Amino acid sequence: MSNQIKKTYNPSLGYTSAFFAPHAEANHLNAQDVAYELVASAKDISIATFQCFDGGNKLVIKAEIVANLIAEIQTKLEMIERILPLAFESEEA
């Protein structure tokens, strides 16, 4: 039996843009590090997605796998979009 408190499911929090919240102690440098890692990861996933095609146009694996890779890229892009304002906010401001 789990000791976790059961919380009511809130479907509006199922979107990355609504769920993602920076840590209270994070600053613009932390945000820049996170943005860099997200961009690097999205680039890697896009390369992996391209490898799912033969000659750039013939799918060689299940379409579901490609769809999942594209969804992962979209999630990372949404997170980058949310963190960019903090990444360019200086501590003097």
Mean pLDDT across the chain, nearest whole number? 86
Distance CA 88, CA 30 (A): 11
Q: Does 58 fall in a domain?
A: yes
Could you tell me if residue 17 is inside a domain? no
User: Has residue 31 been placed in a domain?
Assistant: yes
Answer whether 47's CB lies under 8 Å from 9's CB.
no
Per-residue pLDDT tens over the stretch 41-82: 999 999 999 999 998 889 999 999 999 999 999 999 989 998
- Both tokens of 23, joined, read 């840590």
Name the pTM for this structure. Answer: 0.73
Tell whether the model's pLDDT for residue 26 goes beyond 90: no
Residue 35 lies inside a defined structural domain of this protein:
yes
Which token pair is 81? 């979009």
Range of the structural domain that residue 66 is part of: 25-87
